[in-house]
Chains A and B, each alone.
Chain A
């Protein structure tokens, strides 16, 4: 049973554009929502994370938007660069140190 649903499965964005990836969850006990970036042959690396007491968090070109009532959250990558081409995973857990429930991932390609 997929506890976190992620879309789209793949995304192509031109350099300088905005990449948007969406996730939805059902379990209201989740209170930690991280995004991970994974390059081929590597493990996932934490990009940015948010807790449900805030609606938005920004770190550099990466922004998480969180809608608690809709049980949805999204990742926005501003000024996308070819080096951002990777697979992105959203996740959710009941706290930041416990089991992460991952989405199925979004393969992002940023074209020059």
Chain B
């Protein structure tokens, strides 16, 4: 059984650019969520996808968007990068929206300069 894998592990972008982060869910998991973890803070919920539809969103602006594919892998896109977007971005998968806990990936460390 494979866990949640994220790519890339590290990324440096310039302010104003766009970035795409990728996530492969744990086998059998049909729900994926994305979190932003600033240095020294707890993860903050960005949004969740269930069967390719967004079914929940945290307090993040529309320039944060996502996709979930039929194989349940997922992407997080961030447009018009700002310095404050520098953080660890975590993907987590679960089996359904009401059962089972999350399994987190190791994250993508994004630095915006």
Contacts and interface: CB of A to CB of B under 8 A. Distances in A.
B104 A98 contact: no
Given A49-B101, A97-B97, A103 B42 contact: yes
Interface stretch (A11-19, A37-45, A70-78): A37-45
A87 to B, nearest CB: 9
Interface stretch (B43-51, B68-76, B78-86): B43-51
Interface string A74-100: 000000000000000101000111111
Interface residues of B, number: 29
Interface in B86-103: 90, 92, 94-103
A25 interface: no
B58 interface: yes
A99 B45 contact: yes
Nearest to B58: A99
A38 to B, nearest CB: 9
Contact of B44 (A42, A49, A97, A102): A102
A10 to B, nearest CB: 11
A103 to B, nearest CB: 5
Nearest to B57: A99
B106 interface: yes
B97 A43 contact: no
Contact of A95 (B43, B90, B98): B98
Interface of A: 4, 6, 34, 36, 41-46, 49, 89, 91, 95-105
10 contacts: A41-B106, A43-B90, A43-B104, A43-B106, A96-B99, A97-B96, A99-B45, A100-B102, A103-B42, A105-B41
